[in-house]
Amino acid sequence: MIKLKELLSKLKLSKKAMFSLCAVLFLIVIAIFATSFKSTNKISEKTKTETAVSSYQTFIEGRLVNIISSIKGLDNVKVYVSVGSSPEIVYATDKSSDSTKNGETIVFSKNSSQTTPVIISEKYPEILGVLIVCKGITQKLNLDLTNSLSLVLNVPISCIQILEGK
């Protein structure tokens, strides 16, 4: 603070000008702080979404590896599942209609000091495609496995690829 006073005394500014300059500097610091807080929050939300999608993808891949590994003749199974966008959350809404507004508002639940929206359901991301690499795959097993995966995962047969591994 002493250096700031020395600098201001060298500039020979009036007290009113010094006050104005300090106020402007203070506002700039607050603006920088507020901007950095906003971008961190956006990054945090994006990271949460990516984590949810990644854990869902890993869960499905693990289940598929377990079940496919149990098929007689198949070994060294590796699975990659391609999924769509983030999970979709469906919130409870209150449909209100009065003379000025027609619309829906989200219903909130209050637990002690926290207020959170009421969630009705969560829809997982759509599975877009499946790649399986395994040892010991035959034409018949390939056809049976492709049909089974299409049925269980609700994925078109054209989006399932099974390859012979090393």
Q: CA 137 to CA 159: how far, in whole Å? A: 18
Sheet of 160-164, strands arranged across: 75-83, 127-135, 160-164
Question: Any idea which of 20-24, 43-47, 66-70, 125-129 has the lowest mean pLDDT?
Answer: 43-47
Q: CA 163 to CA 166: how far, in whole Å? A: 10
- List the CATH code of the domain at 48-87+124-166: 3.30.300.30
Q: CA 162 to CA 134: how far, in whole Å? A: 8
H or E element in which residue 77 lies = strand 75-83
Cα–Cα–Cα angle for 141, 166, 151, nearest 5°?
30
pLDDT (tens digit per residue) in 109-145: 888 778 888 888 888 888 999 999 999 999 999 999 9
**What is the residue extent of each domain of the chain?**
48-87+124-166, 88-123
Pairing mode, strands 108-111 and 114-117: antiparallel
What's the chain's average pLDDT?
Answer: 79
pLDDT (tens digit per residue) in 80-114: 999 887 677 788 887 765 545 556 788 888 887 78
Q: CA 2 to CA 129: how far, in whole Å? A: 65
H or E element in which residue 58 lies = helix 15-69
pLDDT at site 23: 72
On the question of pLDDT at 78 being above 90, the answer is yes
